[in-house]
């Protein structure tokens, strides 16, 4: 979306505010950057259906996908001032506002998918969701965003040594930058929407993401090597601006929270099915998929954790997670 269109969309939302009331019905705006085919979007559709059902139509969530209303950071800022009620962003984006979220980007922190869900759906996860409230961004739930792995254009990544000399696109997320650099690559932060062209033109040699994002972005058309090193499991977060949250009654807040938690289980199922379908699609598209020795990558990125836990507060959260 170009700057003029983006600005126009924001102005419209300023006029409409984050929630429109029609008689006895409230319509809540939820903006995000994913396509409608993405399993996280499908989870949000379940959330919206539940809100409508629980409220008997008094509260309706209207979803704006595909970055229609701005980038992740732009929409988060609009939540803070109350122009949009809700969004879905990566926990990496939340870390730029609420530092506690940074722990979720630590490489190889979670032992398994079961360990990840236990943490996110327990008290530690709830504490992280609430940590954004000080920055006017309240988390409602975490969605499974799988594990991020490397994909490249000109050669496969079998060991960390293969990353040497390669420019790898990462999110604008310091820990991702540090991780790729420590593994031997050259981390290149870049907007997601610019990545397809950058890969085509050789501005970067590769990137890292989960299978559904690799497929829905069509990056597999350019990158024919996918290495499932699964270096990080950064979840997505369903976020509501506290400016809007505080306008809701306790009953309405209950509808929102219960619906979010209900949607989590549905989204996890969508994710699992989608990953299986995506890996099949990648094989059909002649993408070579590698399953490397993960311990080699974990060892190379260990210094990221060592530096991170020098902060006593972060060490406390990491210890809490590791001991679960």
Q: What is the mean pLDDT of residues 95-110?
A: 94
Residues 252-283: pLDDT tens digits? 999 999 999 999 999 999 999 999 999 999 99
What residues have CB less than 8 Å from 142, skipping those under 6 apart? 91, 120, 121, 125, 129, 235, 236, 237, 238, 264
Does residue 322 surpass a pLDDT of 90?
yes
CA 7 to chain centre: 24
Give the model's pLDDT for residue 311.
95
Instruction: Taking the CA atoms of 75, 79, 85 and 89 in sequence, report the sign of the dihedral they define.
Output: positive
Average pLDDT, the chain: 92
Please identify, in words, the CATH class of the domain defined by 3-144+235-276. Answer: alpha beta
pLDDT digits (tens, 9 = 90+) for 207-231: 999 999 899 899 999 999 999 999 9
147 pLDDT above the threshold of 80: yes
Q: Return the pLDDT at 291.
A: 97
Segments making up each domain of the chain, as ranges: 3-144+235-276, 148-233+281-322
pLDDT of residue 21: 56
HSE at residue 50, side-chain half, CA atoms within 13 A, is: 21
Cα 256 to Cα 6, 17, 297, distances in angstroms:
28, 19, 40
pLDDT recorded at residue 23: 59
Identify the CATH number of the domain defined by range 148-233+281-322.
Answer: 3.40.190.170
Give the mean pLDDT of 74-94: 94
Q: How confident is the model at residue 125 (pLDDT cuts 50, 70, 90)?
A: very high
Indicate whether 140 pLDDT > 70: yes
| Angle formed at CA 195 by CA 79 and CA 93, multiple of 5 degrees | 30
pTM for the predicted model, two decimal places: 0.87
């Amino acid at each position: 979306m170009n700057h003029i269109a983006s600005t126009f969309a924001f102005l419209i939302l300023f006029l409409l505010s984050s929630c429109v009331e029609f008689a006895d019905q409230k319509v809540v705006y939820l903006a995000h950057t994913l396509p409608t085919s993405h399993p996280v979007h499908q989870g949000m559709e379940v959330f919206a259906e539940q809100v409508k059902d629980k409220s008997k139509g008094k509260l309706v969530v209207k979803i704006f996908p595909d970055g229609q209303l701005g980038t992740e950071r732009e929409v988060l800022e609009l939540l803070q001032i109350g122009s949009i009620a809700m969004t879905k962003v990566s926990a990496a984006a939340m870390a730029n506002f609420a530092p506690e979220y940074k722990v979720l980007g630590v490489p190889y922190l979670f032992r398994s998918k079961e360990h990840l869900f236990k943490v996110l759906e327990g008290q530690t996860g709830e504490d992280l969701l609430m940590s954004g409230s000080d920055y006017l961004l309240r988390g409602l739930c975490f969605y499974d965003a799988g594990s991020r792995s490397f994909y490249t254009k000109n050669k496969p990544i079998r060991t960390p040594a293969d990353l040497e000399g390669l420019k790898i696109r990462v999110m604008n997320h310091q820990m991702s930058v540090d991780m790729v650099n420590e593994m031997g690559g050259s981390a290149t932060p870049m907007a997601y929407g610019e990545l397809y062209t950058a890969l085509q033109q050789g501005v970067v040699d590769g990137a890292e993401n989960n299978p559904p994002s690799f497929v829905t972005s069509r990056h597999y058309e350019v990158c024919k090597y996918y290495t499932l090193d699964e270096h990080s499991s950064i979840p997505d977060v369903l976020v509501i601006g506290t400016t809007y949250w505080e306008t809701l009654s306790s009953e309405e807040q209950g509808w929102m929270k219960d619906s979010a938690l209900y949607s989590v289980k549905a989204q996890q199922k969508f994710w699992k099915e989608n990953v299986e379908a995506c890996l099949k699609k990648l094989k059909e598209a002649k993408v070579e998929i590698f399953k490397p020795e993960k311990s080699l990558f974990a060892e190379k990125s260990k210094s990221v954790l060592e530096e991170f836990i020098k902060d006593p507060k972060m060490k406390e959260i990491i210890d809490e997670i590791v001991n679960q």
